[in-house]
Each structure stands twice: as C-alpha cells, then as structure tokens.
Structure 1
Amino acid sequence: MADAEMETKGRSIPANAVEGFWIATDGWKIRRIDLSPISANGKPAQQPRGAMLFLPGRGDHYEKYLEMLDRYSREGWVVTSIDWRGQGGSGRLLDDAHVGHIDDFSTWINDLKAFWAQWKAATPGPHVVVAHSMGGHLAMRALAEKAIDPVAVALSAPMLGIQTTGLPYFMHHAVARLMRGLGNPERAAWKEGEKPGSPLSVRAKILTHDSRRYADELYWWEARPEVRLGPPSWHWVERAIESTRQLNAPGTLEKITTPILLMATTADRLVDTQRIVRDSKRLPNSELLLFGNEAAHELLREADPVRDMCLDRISRFFEERAPKQ
C-alpha cells in the first residue's frame, strides 16, 4: 500500500462509518464506531459476512485501528468498535484526565455484557470478537463469565498477565497493593510512557516498528485531544493484576470452549508472553501465532509483514471457525 493511501486510511473516518454513543445501564456514554459492510466491487454488501466487535487496549481509542476496521468492513463484515469507559472518547473517571482509572475490571465486564446483548440482537451473525491487549483480557474474562457468546475470538497480545520482568505474580501484586496504599490510589503509577521507567521518547519502540502507523496515533492526539490518555493509576494497576490472577485460577480457562486465536510476540515489553503461551495450552480450543523480535506489542499496527500475517490469519481463522451463515 502506498504511503499516502495508508496515511489516509489511518487518519480519516471511513465513508461507510458512523460515530456515535451507546448508553450504559447507569447512563454512562460509551463512544462507538460502526462500519457497514462493503462488497468486492466497493458497493454496500447485500449479504453481510457477519458482525465483528473490536475491543481495544488500555489507553486506546478506536481511531488507532481505522485501517484495520476498514479492511474487515471490505471483507463484508459489519464492524463495530467501542472505547472503554474512562478512556478514548468515553469520558474520564478522574479529575486528572491524563490518568487512566477504573474502580474494578468488573465494571468493564458489565458494560461489555450489556453492549454485547444489544449489539448482537441488532447485527447479523455469525458474531465474532477481535481484541487487543487489555481488550483481550476483558474478552477472556467475559468468556469465562459467560457475559458474551461469540462464535470465535481472535486476541492480539492479550493481557493475560502483565510483564513483571521475572518477579512472581504474588510479589508483583503485593508491591502494587503497597504502592496503592502509600498515597492517593488515584495518582499516576508513573510519569509517562507505557510502563515504569519508559519515557515517551521510547514509547514507539515498545509499541510498533512502523513509524507511520505510530504517527497516526499522534495525529489523532492533535486532531481530537480528548482521546489521549496517559499512565494508569496505582488502583488500576492493582485491579489489573487481581483480574489476571482471577483468570489464572485452576479450571477457569479450561471451561472456555470458544475457538480462540492467540497472537503474541516474545519481544513484548508490556504483557507476559510466557503466560499467553502457557494459557494457550489450558484452553481446549485454541491456536497460537507467535512472533519474535520482528514484532512489538501492537501486532495489529505493526509493519506490514507482521500486521498482514496477523490480519490474514484472523480472516482464515474466522473462515474456518465462523463460516458465513
């Protein structure tokens, strides 16, 4: 794809997209984008392939994934993405709009459960989920808790465990509890970047090798400043670790029979890839696509060789596991 065309796809809302809001059960406004399906000749698809829900990661907003969402709408899918409560265009939960926060991950699960029920009733099947990082974690929890019932799921670098650089999970959790209790639990866990000790200047290297796609996010920070979010609160960190430990409980993943494609990279500096590999063996119906140093955390926004392999694999996976009805 030519550079100019790629920039256009990453920095403009597709013509077949509608932006809006879904109102959660407590009245909170959750931002969404819906893309209508397009056939091979570029016209509206008369018979949609099905419906795909994309769930982004921590600090994400759907503008980062416009290029990918556009691709799947052109494969005939009805495509929807939401911004999680408290990030992107779905408002903030703290007075400090720079800090990411949530009272408990169950709040996001409740939002997803209610949204899924309404979205599924309004869209054609088969219904599938694609999710990245924290979105992948929440999708897995929702499957375990039977809050959603997709035909198949594809997860990019799912946050099944947070990268601890070798520290045991229970110690990692103890440190997070200590730090949350030492001061205001709503304070930022670090100053900037995606992890402690990583300044904004190295953020791109942690996320993707593709400088143009990384710049797409910076473009939207300028065009829509309200979508930008910084580090999480210490309370978020503690709740995130607790949520990953819940998924690690014996028998939890073993009960999930939904076909799941897991994609990960051993070079990931944010999520625990060893945990993803280990959990792939616990899931009764899973496949694993594993990269090395050629891929950073944002597999769906990586350079073309990695990104295209991921997107092609997702398409094939759904052809096999979620055939058109």
Structure 2
Amino acid sequence: MQSAPIDRRAIPPHAIESKWQAADGHQLRRIDWPGEDGGVRGSILFLPGRGDFYEKYLESLEQWHRDGWRVTAADWRGQAGSGRLGNDDTTGHVEDFADWVADLEHFWTEWVKTTPGPHVLAAHSMGGHIVMRALVDGAVSPDAVFLSAPMLGMSGPPLPLPMLHSVARVMTMVGEPTRPAWKWSEKPGEVPAHRRELLTHDDERYEDELWWREQRPELVMGPGSWGWVERAYASTRVIEADGAMEKVNVPVLIISTTNDKLVSHPAVRKAAQRLPKGELAEFGDESHHEILREVPAVRDKAMAAIREFLDRVVPAQK
C-alpha cells in the first residue's frame, strides 16, 4: 500500500508541538513524532540551521517517521519559536555558541531517557556546527550522526581563520555586538531577492518556507549579529584545534555540496577526513545549500544516503 503524500504545509496530526525548559528556565520549542505501533527503529533528534525553523523540514521528519523512527526536532534558543536574544525581532544573536551546546546537552540527556535507541543526532548548517562542537566537547554521546551542509567553516574571504576572527572581534568593539552583521534587504523583514539562489533549485519547497513565515510571523529571522559572527569564528577555532575532531569516535555522515555559497565545502571535506569514522556524500552544481529541500532527484539521493548509512552503522534489531 502506497503511503499518503506528505503535506509540507501542515503539522502532521500525529506530531506534537510543545515547549521544553532549558537549564536556566528559558522556554524552547520542540516537535515530536511518537513511534509507530509494533516497534520503533530507534530515535532521531534533528536540529535546524541559523534562522531556520523545524517547519522547513516537516517532509524529511515525516519521512523518517514513516521509516520507523521516533523523531524529535527543536528550535535553537534565540530563533524561530524560542524567543530572541538581541535587541530586535529579526537579528540572530547569541552571547556564546557554548550556550547552544549547553542547551543541546541538557535536552539530549533528558531525551535519551525517554526514547528508544539507537539514538541518532542530526542537523543542518549551523545546527551541524553546534552538534560537532558538542561532540568535540564530549557533551553528547549519540550512536550515529548525520549532518546536512554543516557550518564547519563559513564561505567568505579566503583569509586565515585567526585573521577573520580578529576582524569580527574588532567589529564587536566598535559598535553594539547585537547589530546586524550584513544587510538583509531594503525593507526590514522582507526576504532578499537573490536568497532563493543560495538555498535550493526547488521553487515549490522554497515557497513552503515563505508560506510558513506568513502563517507564523514569529519564525521570521534575518541576518546574524556581529556578536554571532565573532562567536561563530571562536567556536570554529575550537572545532579545528589539533586533535579535536580526531577524538570523535562516532560514525558521522556529512552531506555537502561543492556549490555551497554559505558554508565552506573544503572545511566539510577536511572534517570528514579528520573524523575517525567520518563519511562524505558529495553533491555538485545540482544542489544548493539546503540539500534536504532540493529538487527530488537531489533530495531523494541524499535521503537514500542517510538511510543506507543508518542501516549500516545502527542496523535495525531483528
């Protein structure tokens, strides 16, 4: 019997939206798909990227659920439905990426107690950076990890990381660290004209995001702050330190594209080589940054790579 089509513009009736409380009391948003009757394949925790929200990934989350996984996704502190940390409603700011790592550690510790294993940690873009930082810091211990276009380095001037970090540090000193680091559009809250060309070739999936922004205005976020940029570089230096990724003894699949204009594909490729159990599924011009929201030919290939990886490293129990 063929499964019903997945509606990317509706919360599935069996998925439950709720709030969870971080260690300091901050309220963050989450969504959970309970396991199917008759046994569960395991549990996947998925975390989105900068300025993202879990509604953008309903298609993938529902697909993993139909494959037998118990699925959870959550917003990061300071974006989407989890409040703001800056001086306005659209600029993405954080005091330190370590705060996000602490939130993930707190959530992970409670989540694994209430969900069946094996436990898989997954993320996109900035979420992938925070997951890698958490792995390097020893804050989480998943059975497997898969990352979509992780922000292990930012696309930009080909300058040494310490130099880029120094420039960003100066920018946090000459003005408010909470001010936007780049221009979003002429009109606050308006999506930039060329943004689509950075994210996906699939017009319909891109329009899904805009639809959710209209339906739930609290999800809208624009540029990151200079404080975010400086802390991103600082955290990248932690990840890139000698021996950091080499001690991550967990199977990690990284899905990336050489055509990415937002994160550094060379940094991703290097990370896959440094990780003791790292693997790389590489795309080219056929994919932009949001590989899990690409045209079917690309997305299906990425989802198949994830399925094959999980079946191999955390096989279903017979």
CA distance in 2, matches of 1:50, 1:35: 12
Output aligned runs, 1:7-86, within 5 Å: 9-37=7-35, 44-86=36-78
Cα shift readout 1:256-314 (whole Å, capped 9, x = no counterpart)? 11000011111111111101111111111111111111111111111111111111111
Residue 166 in structure 1 maps to residue 158 in structure 2: yes
Q: Secondary structure at the match of 2:32?
A: strand
The amino acid that maps onto 1:82 is A
1:164: how far off?
2.0
The amino acid that maps onto 1:133 is S
Cα shift readout 1:208-266 (whole Å, capped 9, x = no counterpart)? 11111111110010000001111011000000011011100000000011000011111
Following superposition, which runs of at least 4 residues in structure 1 exceed 2 angstroms of deviation? 5-8
Q: Secondary structure at the match of 1:155?
A: strand
Is this contact kept in 2: 1:7–1:212, CA < 8 A?
Answer: no
Q: Secondary structure at the match of 1:287?
A: strand
1:7: how far off?
9.2
1:122: how far off?
0.2
User: Which residue is 1:203 aligned to?
Assistant: 195
Q: Pick from 231, 235, 248: which aligns with 2:227?
A: 235
The amino acid that maps onto 1:60 is D
CA distance in 2, matches of 1:232, 1:58: 8
1:174: how far off?
1.8
User: Which residue is 1:244 aligned to?
Assistant: 236
Is this contact kept in 1: 2:86–2:94, CA < 8 A?
Answer: no
CA distance in 2, matches of 1:142, 1:8: 32
Is this contact kept in 2: 1:299–1:307, CA < 8 A?
Answer: yes
Cα shift readout 1:102-135 (whole Å, capped 9, x = no counterpart)? 1000000000001001000000000001110111
User: Which residue is 2:85 aligned to?
Assistant: 93
Is this contact kept in 2: 1:52–1:79, CA < 8 A?
Answer: yes
Q: Pick from 268, 272, 282: which aligns with 1:290?
A: 282
Q: Pick from 263, 267, 276: which aligns with 2:268?
A: 276
Change (3 A) 1:22 1:148: same
CA distance in 1, matches of 2:15, 2:274: 38
Residue 116 in structure 1 maps to residue 108 in structure 2: yes
User: Which residue is 2:124 aligned to?
Assistant: 132
Is this contact kept in 1: 2:87–2:178, CA < 8 A?
Answer: no
Cα shift readout 1:171-210 (whole Å, capped 9, x = no counterpart)? 21122112221111110111216xxxxx810001101111
Cα shift readout 1:12-43 (whole Å, capped 9, x = no counterpart)? 00111000011111110110000123xxxxxx
Q: Secondary structure at the match of 1:201?
A: coil
Q: Pick from 171, 183, 187: which aligns with 1:191?
A: 183
The amino acid that maps onto 1:154 is F
Is this contact kept in 2: 1:210–1:303, CA < 8 A?
Answer: yes
The amino acid that maps onto 1:231 is P
Q: Pick from 268, 273, 294: which aligns with 1:302?
A: 294
Aligned residues: 310
RMSD of aligned residue pairs (Cα, Å): 1.5
CA distance in 2, matches of 1:226, 1:6: 30
CA distance in 2, matches of 1:165, 1:296: 19
Q: Secondary structure at the match of 1:164?
A: coil
Q: Secondary structure at the match of 2:224?
A: coil
Change (3 A) 1:6 1:60: farther
Q: Secondary structure at the match of 1:202?
A: coil
Is this contact kept in 2: 1:164–1:172, CA < 8 A?
Answer: no
The amino acid that maps onto 2:101 is I
Cα shift readout 1:49-82 (whole Å, capped 9, x = no counterpart)? 1000001100100000001100000001000000
Is this contact kept in 2: 1:48–1:77, CA < 8 A?
Answer: yes
CA distance in 2, matches of 1:6, 1:316: 23
Q: Secondary structure at the match of 2:241?
A: coil
Q: Secondary structure at the match of 2:259?
A: coil
Q: Report the identity percentage.
A: 50
User: Which residue is 1:196 aligned to?
Assistant: none
CA distance in 2, matches of 1:70, 1:156: 17
CA distance in 2, matches of 1:172, 1:307: 33
CA distance in 2, matches of 1:8, 1:159: 28
Unaligned runs of 5+ in 2: 186-190
Is this contact kept in 2: 1:45–1:76, CA < 8 A?
Answer: no
1:146: how far off?
1.4
Is this contact kept in 1: 2:144–2:250, CA < 8 A?
Answer: yes
